[in-house]
Structures are given as C-alpha cells and as structure tokens.
Amino acid sequence: MVSVSSSCPGLYCGRVSLNGTVSDTCGVCPRGERADVHTKVCSPCSESPELYDWLYLGFMAMLPLVLHWFFIEWYSGKKSSSALLQHLVSTLECGVSAVVTLLLSEPEGQLGIRSCRVQMLSDWYTMLYNPSPDYVSTLHCTQEAVYPLYTIVLIYYAFCLLLMMLLRPLLVKKVACGLGKSDRFRSVYAALYFFPILTLLQAVGGGLLYYAFPYIILVLSLVTLAVYMSASEIQSFQSLVAQKKRVVVLLSHWLLHGYGIVSISLLDQLELTLPLLALVPGPTLFYIATATFTKPSRILSEGGSGH
C-alpha cells in the first residue's frame, strides 16, 4: 500500500471509504466495489444490470445446456427412450443452478443482482492494468471491476457440474437400458470435458465474449441450421413438418436467431425490436426456396449432361 494525497496510480486502484472516512492509502477495492474514475474512491456496485448484461448472462447460461443437449443426442442413439428424459433433467439441472446462483448473489434471496457498469474492455482484465513496477512494486489492484458478471458465471458452472454429478448418473443407470454399459455415461463424460473448457473460456475470454456473443449466436445458428437441414434433406415445408423433432429443432434455431438479433439491436423498447424479429424465418425460407437449385446431385447430373 502507498500513501497518496490526491489520486491513485493505475486505472483500478482506489481509496477505501469506511464510515464516511476515506483512507489516504491506495490499493485494491473490496469485492463488490469499484474505484470512481474521477475521485479514485471505492464505491459499492449498486446499479442494476442493463438489458445487454442480462442477455450476456443468458448466453453464458445457455452454453452448457446446449452442449448437454448435443452430446445427449449424439450418444443416446435413435432408438434410445432415455434421450428425452435426459434432456429434461439437463434442463432442470441448469435451471436450478441459475436460480440458486441468483439467490446467493447480492442482494441475497432475490432473483436479481446488483452490479458495476461495464465501461470498457479493460474492465474484464484488471490484472493487466496494475501500476507500472517503476512506480511501486507492492501495489496490485486486480479486482472484479465488472462485478459480478465475471464470477457469477463461474459459480453457475460449478452448480451445474455439482447437480449433474448428483442426478445424472442415477438417472442414466436406471433408464438407459437400451444402450451398452460403455455408452450410458458418455454424455456425462463429455460434460466433464466441456465444463473445464467453458470455465477456461470465461476466465480468459470473458470480456471478448461479452462484446462478441450476439454475432457468435447469429453465425452459429445459421451454420447449424444449414447443416441440419442439408443433412436431413429438407426440400419443402412438407418434409420439414413431417417429424415433430424437426419442428422442435427448427424452433430452437429460430429462438437462438431471435436472441442474437435482440442482443445486437440493443433496443429496450419492445415496439422497436419486434419488427426486427420478422427476419428470424428468413434464412429457413431462403434455404427451402433455393434447395432444389443447389442440390449437389442435380448440379453434377446437369454438368455431366452438358458435356
């Protein structure tokens, strides 16, 4: 700690205020507080998250759920009757984890959080903006300037992993009778791999994801929709609605696409956002309208007949 009369070095060093008395020493602000840019006094994070902040938290909460669904579908097999139940249980795990995480966050016992406003990308990486060693070698001001957007995601992942370890093995052991013993727990094993990856992704790239997640959602929803419709050989609306599963997958992609559009628009007024949601079915309609002209077998046959 260093005695400073007027200001503090670095972007995130501040002086602690205790019972109305401001300390003369600069240092890291307590958790849940952030140094004011002008006065350099640590003040509590008392603001409510913006709509964009909630959309970001929703995106980070959806990542493990979508991965659960993918690996359950991948390993369960077409004839497995346990897939639907596993989908429901994984949804329950993530839902309960989200509620518990919100209840444990400040203010405790409420489905809401108080936070500090994100001002710039460096707020996510305060450890890179400690004062220069030439100034003082003992002053470190690494803190959660975006409280609690950084740690709340990690806490949520921890609860998801804990509930999965408690519920899923018992469920899979009882209902996954159609699968071999080596296949029953593959979706659980996959989660043991992707949860550390998600944790590392949040720890290292949380700030980048905060600004890029709307575009990530749009790109992934479009690519996965095109791959699914191509693999399912969907050429018309009749083939699209032939199975309930296809309709569910399509609606899921539309929800993700709409989520990305709302996140990019950043419009708090519902009447201004709704017209943009009319763009959601656009990629599906375009694919169906052009699928007959871009079918690989037709292109090859016409190319061969041309010679």
For the record, the structure tokens of 146 come out as 């975006």
**Can you tell me the distance from the alpha carbon of 15 to that of 29, in angstroms, rounded to the nearest whole number?**
7
Query: Residue 282: exposed, middle, or buried by beta-carbon count in 10 A (0-12, 13-18, 19+)?
Result: exposed
**Can you tell me the distance from the alpha carbon of 161 to that of 67, in angstroms, rounded to the nearest whole number?**
13
- pLDDT tens, per residue, the chain with 307 residues: 434 445 788 888 889 888 778 888 888 898 999 988 888 899 999 899 998 999 999 999 999 999 998 888 787 765 555 677 888 889 999 999 999 999 999 888 888 899 998 999 999 998 888 776 555 556 778 889 999 999 999 999 999 999 999 988 877 666 655 545 555 678 888 999 999 999 999 999 999 999 999 999 988 888 888 777 776 666 555 666 566 667 777 888 888 888 888 888 876 666 677 788 888 888 877 877 777 776 655 555 555 555 5
Supply the pLDDT for residue 2.
39
Supply the pLDDT for residue 55.
93
CB atoms within 10 A of CB 138: 9
**Can you tell me the distance from the alpha carbon of 300 to that of 303, in angstroms, rounded to the nearest whole number?**
5
Supply the pLDDT for residue 223.
83
22 phi/psi in degrees, rounded to 5:
-90, 130
- Phi-psi domain of 114 (left: phi exceeds 0; alpha: psi -120 through 50; beta: other): beta
Supply the pLDDT for residue 203.
93
Note the pTM of the prediction, 2 decimals.
0.84
Q: At what angle do helices 244-265 and 186-231 cross, to 10 degrees?
A: 90
